[in-house]
Chains A and B, each alone.
Chain A
Amino acid sequence: MSDKVLHYCPGCTHGLAHRLVAEVIDELGILERTIGVASVGCSVFAYDYFRCDFQQAAHGRAPAVATGIKRVHPEAVVFTYQGDGDLAAIGTAEIVHAAARGEQITVIFINNAIYGMTGGQMAPTTLVGQATTTTPQGRAPERAGYPVRMSEILATLDGAAYIARMSLHDPLHVGRARRAIRKAFEVQLKGLGFSMVELLSSCPVNWGLKPIEALHWIEQRMIPSFPLGELKNTAGVV
């Protein structure tokens, strides 16, 4: 990672997710052939923090941009870093089809159950009953539908080789998340297909919680809705 000071809010786990990805890239010794794709959302400046080549994609289109890059440089390691608004709303088609094609890319998917950057509106991952600026009385399924579980959806696709959902709310889970990220990159290095790690991540500012409370909220509220684990590991990566 670069020396730049992270711009994320105090208690936000975006920065932690960055560190895990950066550590895995260093561990695998692939920094000089890695090309990242930054999405739109709080992580829009991700390229400031990684010391590899980067492209900035339009909202939701990172998997398509990554596809273009990977097809030009099949030997490169290409990853996208996307929020839930980016990946599960405006970019649903792009992520589904990148996975269906078995595109040899790795996706880091930050699920914080809300739109962070634009100020706390409902995301496709917002929990039933969760208050946001566009669901001020709490998300009511009869009006606003139900949360979308992208990892489960993508795991049904033949092109997806490795799909895991992990959480960043305590050190034990952070360690597991790190191992999953490493596996996801290894899947790409072995050319086995599409890989994605979904990370349950905090947004204390827009949840209206203190940083510690936010971590509890992930554990108590998010995990029951978004169960953790490897949803797909056809590749048999250990």
Chain B
Amino acid sequence: MKGLEAMGEAAIRAGCRYFFGYPITPQSELPEYMARRLPEVGGVFLQAESEVAAINMVFGAAGAGGRVMTSSSSPGISLKQEGISYIAGAELPCVIVNMMRGGPGLGGIHPSQSDYFQATKGGGHGDYRLLVLAPASVQELADLMFEAFELSERYRNPVLVLGDGLLGQMMEPVRLPPEQAVAPPNRPWATTGARGRAPNLVSSFHIDPAELEALNLRLQEKYRTIRAEQTRFAVEDPEGDARLFLVAYGTAARVCRAAMRRARAEGIPTGLIRPISLWPFPDAAFEQVMERALGFLTVELSLGQMVEDVRLAVAGRRPVEFYGRTGGMLPDPEAIVERLHLLWEKVGVRHG
């Protein structure tokens, strides 16, 4: 199945019944899939007049208690930031997909990972966080859609699934879990018509500074809980002997897997740390390997964004190097291996 179609089908099986979107390459197959499938299951697909409108439709639908999602790619996600901030402020559950392309500006249509800062550090205004999940295969694209809906509802927080154009277009076998029985989510706070109860209000507006601070403090408390409970990563270390670790997510992780094999064949004991939750960032992955690790090489389809979080996690204990390509160019496994050789020399270890 194609990555984008797998995401769409997984979302529907996870009980998503509302999709509001606006076309942009390279993710238009996802709204197209939803336009075809949602009416078959009694859901609603609506092509909005803009990304700004689409995300505000998501706001309305989520506030009204619907299980809802939207998807876009980089320039479109920039437009959605207004609504995302409001959704985070009103604590509504929803899923947002960003299949990244190169920027800044109109950029290009080829895969990129240069929205990492925007995804993990805010993007819109205010002290808020999104849960950010980064799949690296078609199977993971599907699995993480299920997770995304579950997490967004558990924490009443928007969840961002961060992929790129390459993953979305990729064809791989995928096993989809069966359709979930879509119990109407229990949302006593939703606007459904105030029949037999006091009126509900869905809002992010707090004119009283003390009230707004209290909301923010409560949000931070929630983010701390998410940090404690939802860190996801995979450490790949085929022989359990790795001393250097590549760090990469999504498409970059796939390139790194090839580079890892090549480096190992050339005698450099290399492993791969693959963050799956980008926020919360999996510091634990680094603790797990710190004792045996001699150095880290972060690889991104950008000129260095996640590497800042890697440096924070490593906290100066080991060298952290960076290699990235951008604009839609893919990192070359050979160039990665070359850098591993340099790092291997630098950390002063001779294999043998």
Contact = CB atoms under 8 A, between A and B. Distances in A.
A75 to B, nearest CB: 8
A44 B66 CA distance: 24
Contacts of A97: 48-49, 53
A53 B199 contact: yes
A57 B59 contact: yes
A73 B193 contact: yes
Interface string A193-229: 0000000000000000000000000000000000000
| Chain B CB within 10 A, most for which of A52, A73, A76 | A73
A89 to B, nearest CB: 14
Interface string B45-66: 0101110111011111111111
A64 B56 contact: yes
Contacts of A35: 64, 191-193
Interface in B173-212: 191-196, 199-205
A69 B63 contact: yes
B157 to A, nearest CB: 18
B60 A67 contact: yes
Contact of A55 (B46, B52, B191, B195): B191
Contacts of B48: 64, 97
A31 B82 contact: no
Contacts of B192: 35, 53, 73, 76
Given A61-B83, A97-B49, A97-B53, A53 B60 contact: no
B193 A71 contact: no
Nearest to A70: B60
| Chain B CB within 10 A, most for which of A71, A73, A76 | A71
Given A35-B64, A93-B49, A57 B194 contact: no
A56 B203 contact: yes
Interface residues of A, number: 34
Contact of A68 (B20, B82, B193): B20
A68 B50 contact: no
B44 interface: yes
Nearest to B62: A68
B193 A64 contact: no
Given A72-B18, A76-B192, A56 B205 contact: yes
Contact of B66 (A33, A47, A55, A72): A72
Contacts of A96: 49
B159 interface: no
Interface string A133-151: 0000000000000000000
A128 interface: no
B61 A61 contact: no
A72 B56 contact: no
B50 A93 contact: yes
| Chain B CB within 10 A, most for which of A34, A50, A72, A96 | A72
Nearest to B202: A55
